[in-house]
Amino acid sequence: MERRNAWLSYDEAKKAEVMALGEAYRKFLSKCKTERECVEESARLAEEAGYRKLADVIAAGDTLKAGDKVYDTLYGKTMIMFHIGKQPMENGMNILGAHIDSPRLDLKQNPVYEEAEQVLLDTHYYGGIKKYQWVARPLALHGVIAKKDGTVVKVCVGEAEDDPVFMISDLLPHLGQEQMKKNAAEVVTGENLNVLVGHEPLVKKDSDSEEEKKEKEAVKANLLKILKDTYDVEEEDFLSAEIEVVPAGAARDLGFDRSMILGYGHDDRICAYTSLDAQLKVTDPERTAVCLLVDKEEIGSVGATGAHSRFFENAVAEVMALKGETGDLALRRALSRCKMLSSDVSAAFDPNYADVNEKKNAAYLGHGLAFNKYTGARGKSGSNDASAEYVACVRRVMDDAGVAFQTCELGKVDAGGGGTIAYISANYGMQVIDSGIAVLNMHAPFEAASKADIYEGRNGYLAFLMNA
């Protein structure tokens, strides 16, 4: 069964829509390089579309009815949106779930040190990365520094045209004979992912003697002075900071035809944005439409902001109570009767590495929204494995809406594999299938995706919310 390339079905008007959505997403991807930034921008877009904060609805003593739109967030790192449908929520909801964290480097709690008159920042990598891909490239710092007085300082350096950037050095080939004998996993070690951030020493201009002007670790002292002057923070404030090291620069159009987007964080902000955009376009739904954006998928969906958290369940309970649907049994029925798309990226077929794929069960750029009946590794370990009946339901929704879609697996059976949040939501008894957009270079500092797939993905998500 061959799925047709979606580009072949577009006239000029449709192609203009594809390009417009691609440009909106490109800007979102460039602006939102951390989970905090994703939540902040998504909340802004939601409020523009008429969504109210759930806490404000509760504080005002208001109730909810069909047509109302509310959202909630937790710790600035996860978010859920509800567009209340005509049917009771006890009948179930249509849910899109995506994650907004991406592989990166995090600064350690005690990161600053000086060596050979260079000042560097220690990092701890987050998620599955190829460490050698992160050296010798421009990097930016994004995040927050929380101070003991309760103030939170935002940090974003390396993105503006006149900003400095940072880097992790690599060994020159002239001296790299031994390094090149190592396998790829050992060429660069985790402890060598140290970010170079300065080398100018601080000079005490108010001292009389030359000796007094020289300070031990003067380069580090100069960096700390810059941080104090710029952000009013001390070195100790790094103990309560969350600073993420990410590739610097905006996402870019890829190819002479501008048919693709190259950028950091497609996994999984490409599914998060298309899910968000679909949720904002829902009108007069029969079943309550939900968009869930979660953190920590890249490290097992753990913690208060991950998919294993009770945040989703608690938010549903709050909304149902505001609709007058109370009781634990009603909540359990609602959760078990949901239909969900676990929206996460899939691996696009790469002709440079064709041998890891089984061609007729691979995802291809430009062939539309990709569905994985199961993910997991090798013998389907850790997968959700959607039922045949639910796959048929999803096929019907996509075909009725004219959405281009494809089915796929994540590589050959014994080549590896991967997982998503699908199995976590399925624990409630709801029907879930993995769906997403195919990307090249998954988990690399820069990933690539087709604008056609972005367009078909958004349309597929909207069709699901309205008609599943």
With a cut of 90, say whether residue 384 has pLDDT above it.
Answer: no
- When pLDDT is cut at 50, 70 and 90, the band that residue 381 belongs to is confident
Can you give the pLDDT at residue 379? Answer: 81
Distances (CA, A) of 396 to 227, 339, 405, 463: 57, 14, 11, 10
Distance from the first to the final alpha carbon of the chain: 24
Computed over every residue of the chain, the mean pLDDT equals 94
Spatial contact of 140 and 197, defined as CB atoms under 8 Å apart = no
Helix (H) or strand (E) holding 92: none
User: Is the per-residue pLDDT at 307 higher than 70?
Assistant: yes
- pLDDT beyond 60 at 213: no
pLDDT on residue 208: 54
Whole-structure pTM value: 0.95
pLDDT digits (tens, 9 = 90+) for 37-88: 999 999 999 999 999 999 999 999 999 999 999 999 999 999 999 999 999 9
pLDDT confidence tier of residue 204, bands split at 50, 70 and 90? confident
pLDDT of residue 9: 95
Q: How far is CA 46 from CA 26, 85, 145, 305, in A?
A: 18, 17, 26, 19
**What is residue 419's predicted lDDT score, i.e. its pLDDT?**
77
What CATH number has the domain spanning 104-247? 2.30.250.10
**Tens digit of pLDDT for each residue in 355-367?**
888 889 999 999 9
Whether 435 and 343 have beta carbons less than 8 Å apart is answered as: yes
Residue type, 431: Q
Q: What are the tens digits of pLDDT across the range 149-199?
A: 999 999 999 999 999 999 999 999 999 999 999 999 999 999 999 999 999
For residue 353, the SS3 value is: helix
pLDDT tens-place string over residues 95-106? 999 999 999 999
- What is residue 410's predicted lDDT score, i.e. its pLDDT? 83
In the Cβ-directed half-sphere of 431, how many Cα atoms lie within 13 Å?
16
- Please give the CATH number for the structural domain made up of 6-102+264-467: 3.40.630.10
Type of residue at 333? R
Contact between residue 328 and residue 335 where contact means Cβ atoms under 8 Å apart: no
Tell me what pLDDT residue 212 has: 54
Find where tokens 């005490």 sit.
204
Supply the pLDDT for residue 397. Answer: 97
Neighbours of 218 (CB within 10 A): 18
Look at residue 308 and tell me whether its pLDDT is greater than 90: yes
Nearest to 445 by CA among 107, 97, 126, 78: 126
β-pair partners for 94: 289, 339
Report domain extents, the chain: 6-102+264-467, 104-247
**Contact (CB, 8 A) for 289 and 53:** no
E strands within 32-151? 52-53, 69-74, 78-83, 93-99, 104-115, 118-126, 139-146
pLDDT for 207 equals 57
